[in-house]
Amino acid sequence: MKSYREAGVNIEKAGQFVEFIKSIRSSAMGDGIGAFSSGFKINLNRYKNPIVLATTDGVGTKILIAEEFGDYTTIGIDLVAMSVNDLLASGAEPYSFYDYIACGRLETKLLNRVIQSIVKGCEEGGLKLAGGETAELPDMYADGDIDLAGFAVGIAEEDHMLPHIDEIRTGDTVLGIPSSGIHSNGLSLARKVIPKSERNIRRMLLKPTRIYAKEIKAVLQTGAMLGAAHITGGGLKGNIERVIPKKLKLSLNRTWKIPEIFKLIKHYGKIEDEEMYRVFNMGIGMALICHSEDVPLMQKISDQNNFKLLRIGSLKNG
Structure confidence at residue 39 (pLDDT): 87
User: Any residues with CB less than 8 A from the CB of 209 and at least 6 apart, and which?
Assistant: 77, 78, 81, 82, 85, 179, 180, 183, 184, 285
Cβ–Cβ under 8 Å, residues 128 and 29: yes
Structure confidence at residue 242 (pLDDT): 96
Number of neighbours of residue 104 by Cβ within 10 angstroms: 18
Structure confidence at residue 1 (pLDDT): 65
Alpha carbon 1 to its chain's center: 43
Task: Catalogue all structural domains in the chain, each as residue range(s) with its CATH number.
Answer: 11-160 (3.30.1330.10), 165-317 (3.90.650.10)
Q: Give the pairing of strands 248-252 and 128-136.
A: unpaired
Structure confidence at residue 134 (pLDDT): 96
CA atoms lying within 13 Å on the CB side of residue 151 = 9
73 residue type, one letter: T
Number of neighbours of residue 73 by Cβ within 10 angstroms: 15
The mean pLDDT values, 10 residues at a time, for the chain of 318 residues are 82 90 92 86 91 98 98 98 99 98 95 98 98 95 95 96 97 99 98 98 98 97 96 97 97 97 98 98 99 98 97 95
- CA nearest 312: which of 293, 287, 292? 287
Spatial distance between the Cα atoms of 15 and 34, rounded to a whole number of angstroms? 9
Structure confidence at residue 113 (pLDDT): 97
Number of neighbours of residue 45 by Cβ within 10 angstroms: 6
pLDDT per residue as tens digits for the range 224-239: 999 999 999 999 999 9
Structure confidence at residue 195 (pLDDT): 98
212 residue type, one letter: Y
